[in-house]
Amino acid sequence: MLPQSVVSRIDELRQQLHAHAHSYYVLDEPSVPDAEYDRLFKELQQFEAQYPELLTPDSPTQRVGGKALDAFSSVRHKVPMLSIRTETDTEASGARNFDTRVRKELGLTDKDPPVQYVAELKFDGLAMSLRYENGVLVQAATRGDGETGEDVTQNIRTIGQIPLRLHPHPSPLPQAGEGDRFAVSPLNSLSPRERAGVRAYPIPSVLEVRGEVYMRRDDFEALNDRQRAKIAQGIKGEKTFVNPRNAAAGAVRQLDPNIAAQRPLSFFAYGLGEMTLPAGRRPVFETHFELLQALKSWGFPVAAQTECAQAAPELIAYHQRIGKMRDTLPFDIDGVVYKVNSLGLQKQLGFVTREPRWAVAHKYPAQEQLTTVIGIDVQVGRTGKLTPVAKLAPVFVGGVTVTNATLHNEDEARRKDVRVGDTVFVRRAGDVIPEVVSVVQGKRLPGAEMFTMPRVCPVCGSSAVREDDEADYRCTGGLFCGAQRKEAILHFAHRRAVEIDGLGDKLVEQMVDANIIRTLPDLYKLGLSALSALDRMAGKSAANLLAAIEASKQTTLPRFVFGLGIRHVGETTAKELARHFGELDAIMDASEEQLLTVSDVGPVVAKSLRTFFDQPHNREVVEQLRACGVTWEEGEPALVTQHALSGKTFVITGTLPGLSRDEAKDILEAHGAKVAGSVSKKTDYLLAGTDAGSKLDKAKELGITVLDEAAMLALVQG
């Protein structure tokens, strides 16, 4: 005879583990640390191993287990899993038409009160029916053809959000906006029973819960990362998945539940199939909203975005609101669902063919479609980045007609193996740039060639290079390349570069688009008539700009070098180069080895400098700028013995009495110091003005020397 203490302990462990799992998977509020859950789980495993006769299908230890199946057996649904009519009109009229049909079927006039609905998300997953007998999960089946599905019980047991045994979880009626709880619009009136507060719904003796198995986007990305790693290791038979829905469907239909358990799935409940109440029990709910409350009380997750809504205006508002947040949801949806709230009215409305009259799915524009790649172009961005772009046969996706889709970079294009002529899935979500998701390999044309990134810029012919730690190729003709023209001019005119006051984004865009400026030297060839002809450029404004351009001819070597826009060369590096070499020609002719002797120049910066000045186009632009009169004072290369502040790190905070922060920074850097943005253990001095704030507190905490403006100037002079 089994010891009663063992039976009691096993029952206690199972109840504790079920409760902890509900808190973790459904409420997203872990009740114990992982280590404590693991300890309880291991204790239960040991008991069940010692007393196998006490092992039950609903034990938490049985979420993953069992041998792989040869095939799925068929399951005939006691209550058919019917489809819902789809409203393909994605505009507001789709919701209005449904409300009109419902009112007409119910014989309501304009004088009758509005119909109350429940508005839910339409998940892009796999419909599932979960059958419980006496509170224990005994079977899970797919929709199939609505009458007959497949028995996938072993795989569904692996989903942590699905309870293996039902336990009442009474809770007060949630209000809108309570985190991930079931939300109810405060604008709507509820029946007295819906206002009843705390309720504990009796668990039916037979209960079929209908819902959706899906895969979260982050879980999907993590799964594909693991798949890519396996492919890179040469493991045969592995592949990446097209989208979360396909990945979820594939996991549910795995014959081996141990493999299914490795593919993270989630679940939302939204309805019922067969339900048999214990003898003598009356129906437990009158509305669909209350039904969802019961599902939550039994331990099932219900989508937080579910709301009550009255009449067409609130349905429309819900459809529009969810549409705006669609791309920020952690899972995919392709629409929303409206259901008449009253179960009595649902029964009165009945069905047409195999669809309920009391519900409709109001879709959003499709986010994925099939189309054909008719070419692959390479675009050059404002910063010189080369991006392969698939030219597509026009396809309507995500609410717009798409003809181009990004392939991101050469590695991504090769990983997806996109070739001209391929049939591909294209995705567009919200304002996201359309992208090719995957290729339909079975439709590939014979002789289709793999894409290769060009090694020269398609715009200017300069070399295209890819740094060792980057995925992108970049054009090296920064001062010459037409694609980078606007960015190059704006950077050159920046106040920390040569500084051309009044030359902003819109003006540069006008001048470049009108072909008034093709390269930087064209700035110094501008005339008053050409400028005055531009929009919003009166004679006085044009004269002021010409004066600013003329003034910019007198600059400094560090500002000029920084203004060239060489990749990885910022203000500090430009100053170090000028200090070290003394003149521009010496910088342009320096080898990588010589550049590496400069403070603040490492291998990446040295290579970038050498690549830039090795392009004849860039050298030509520099010489033309000199010929236009851009000049600076050059000096002797810096001596090994430098100022006492050389290598010291300053941080500037607060308002200084006589200097701006930029002026103070220039003074410090001119004397060899470095100016950082935040205080750390590496900081030597803090230059503090009034309203210094948290940086001053941190400096005092770390014991860093704090200077005011006068002390800093004395240090520089001394």
Distance from C-alpha of 131 to C-alpha of 62, rounded to nearest angstrom:
17
Q: Is 385 a catalytic residue?
A: no
Helix, strand or coil, per DSSP, at residue 509:
helix
Q: Give the distance from CA 443 to its chain's centroid.
A: 31
Distances from the Cα of 469 to the Cα of 264, 298, 389, 473, 635, angstroms: 32, 52, 22, 11, 36
Distances from the Cα of 300 to the Cα of 23, 58, 84, 124, 170, angstroms: 11, 15, 22, 19, 12
Contact 392, 426 (CB under 8 A): yes
Instruction: Output the CA torsion 466→468→469→471 (10° steps).
Output: 30
Phi first, then psi: give them for residue 242, nearest 5 degrees. -70, -45
Tokens of 544: 């002021």
Instruction: Give the N- to C-terminal CA distance of the chain in Å, as an integer.
Output: 94
CA angle 277, 294, 158 (to 5 degrees): 95
Helix, strand or coil, per DSSP, at residue 123:
strand
- Taking every pair of Cα atoms in the chain, the longest distance, rounded to a whole number of angstroms, is 107
Tokens of 438: 């995957």
Phi first, then psi: give them for residue 47, nearest 5 degrees. -60, -45
- Please state whether 461 falls in left (phi above 0), alpha (psi between -120 and 50) or beta: left
Cβ neighbours of residue 690 closer than 8 Å, sequence gap 6 or more: 654, 655, 657
Nearest C-alpha neighbor of 497 from the set 641, 662, 302, 283: 662
Contact 127, 142 (CB under 8 A): yes
Distance from C-alpha of 294 to C-alpha of 272, rounded to nearest angstrom:
11
Cβ neighbours of residue 591 closer than 8 Å, sequence gap 6 or more: 610
Nearest C-alpha neighbor of 339 from the set 359, 315, 319: 359
Q: Give the distance from CA 64 to its chain's centroid.
A: 31
Catalytic residue among 42, 67, 78, 122: 122
Residues forming the active site: 122
